[in-house]
């Protein structure tokens, strides 16, 4: 009887330790880097069926995010808030071209799922992720000194998705640094004014570095 008790206690202890190891760990982190925005095309509608293609020429800008979630050995689930800015260099519409010094921005709140694979016995892990959520884009009103306020202020909120790949270095079980590439699809901004503008749908890519802390 005592032997059976000992065996049962040993089995229970082993099961409890295995269960504890399988429990997800929670984490949080942040990342920052640069997006690749160079231009944003669209169509300016003057009414009466008159539409002229235009372009907003951009300088790439900052991209950043904060996130929190939980992980197992080969998977992660997280909620992330990320965003970015871009500087506007000039606007082009037909033969009209004018330099500008303005800026726009975007934000996205997504739920992301990751597949994580340790790379052999090294301190590195590779990962890929997909995410869905809500995004927002805002571009300012822009016009020409000739008097045409052709590019009306444009905003849009709606569905967004992302795809991501990265490489993470494990300093220890709790502290991680990573380099990642993100492709973020945003809603299509536009305006209902006259003249109005309807911008193309845009996918923004960004390269960022970050830090992740497991609790």
Query: Residues 95-116: pLDDT tens digits?
Result: 899 999 999 999 999 999 999 9
Q: What is the 3-state secondary structure (H, E, C) of the chain?
A: CHHHHHHHHHHHHHHHHHHHHHCCEEEEEEEEEEECCCEEEEEEEEECCEEEEEEEEEECCEEEEEEEEEECCCEEEEEEEEEEEEEEEEEEECCEEEEEEEEEEEEEEEEEEEEEEECCCCCEEEEEEEEEEEEEEEECCECCCCCCCCECCEEEEEEEEEEEEEEEEECCCCEEEEEEEEEEECCCCECCCCCEEEECCCEEEEEEEEEEEEC
**Residue 1 has what pLDDT?**
53
**Residue 140 has what pLDDT?**
95
Task: List pLDDT tens digits, range 120-146.
Answer: 878 999 999 999 999 999 999 999 998
Q: What residues does each domain of the chain span?
A: 25-214
Look up the pTM and report it.
0.84
Contact (Cβ atoms closer than 8 angstroms) between residue 7 and residue 177: no
Residue 12 vs residue 43, higher pLDDT: 43
- Is 167 a residue whose pLDDT tops 70? yes
By percentage, how much of the chain surpasses pLDDT 90? 77
- Is 194 a residue whose pLDDT tops 90? no
Give CA–CA dist 27/51, Å, rounded: 50
**Residue 19 has what pLDDT?**
40
Q: Which two tokens mark 12? A: 């229970």
**Residue 120 has what pLDDT?**
83
Contact (Cβ atoms closer than 8 angstroms) between residue 86 and residue 58: yes
Local confidence band at 12 (pLDDT 50, 70, 90 cut-offs):
very low
First to last CA, the chain: 42
* CA Rg value for the chain: 24
Torsion, CA 34, CA 116, CA 122, CA 183, rounded to 10: -20
**Residue 121 has what pLDDT?**
79
- Pick from 173, 178, 175, 170: nearest CA to 208: 178
- Is 11 a residue whose pLDDT tops 70? no
- Is 155 a residue whose pLDDT tops 50? yes
What mean pLDDT do residues 163-179 have? 97
What mean pLDDT do residues 67-88 have? 96
Architecture of domain 25-214: Beta Barrel (2.40)
What mean pLDDT do residues 195-215 have? 95
Residue 52 vs residue 194, higher pLDDT: 52
Contact (Cβ atoms closer than 8 angstroms) between residue 79 and residue 109: yes
Q: Which two tokens mark 154? A: 């444009």
**Residue 3 has what pLDDT?**
58
């Amino acid at each position: 009887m005592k032997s059976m008790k000992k065996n049962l206690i040993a089995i229970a202890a082993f099961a409890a330790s295995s269960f504890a190891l399988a429990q997800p760990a929670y984490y949080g982190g942040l990342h920052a880097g640069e997006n690749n925005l160079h231009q944003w095309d669209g169509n300016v509608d003057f009414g009466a069926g008159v539409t002229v293609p235009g372009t907003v020429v951009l300088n790439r800008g900052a991209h950043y995010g904060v996130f929190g979630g939980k992980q197992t050995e080969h998977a992660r689930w997280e909620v992330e808030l990320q965003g970015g800015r871009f500087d506007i260099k000039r606007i082009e519409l037909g033969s009209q071209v004018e330099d500008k010094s303005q800026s726009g921005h975007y934000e996205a709140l997504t739920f992301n799922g990751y597949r994580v694979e340790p790379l052999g016995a090294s301190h590195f892990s590779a990962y890929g992720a997909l995410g869905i959520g809500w995004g927002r884009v805002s571009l300012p009103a822009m016009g020409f000194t000739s008097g045409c306020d052709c590019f009306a202020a444009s905003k849009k909120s709606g569905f967004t998705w992302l795809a991501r790949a990265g490489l993470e270095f494990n300093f220890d079980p709790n502290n991680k640094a990573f380099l990642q590439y993100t492709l973020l699809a945003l809603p299509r901004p536009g305006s209902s004014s006259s003249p109005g503008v309807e911008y193309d749908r845009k996918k923004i890519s960004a390269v960022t570095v970050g830090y992740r802390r497991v609790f």
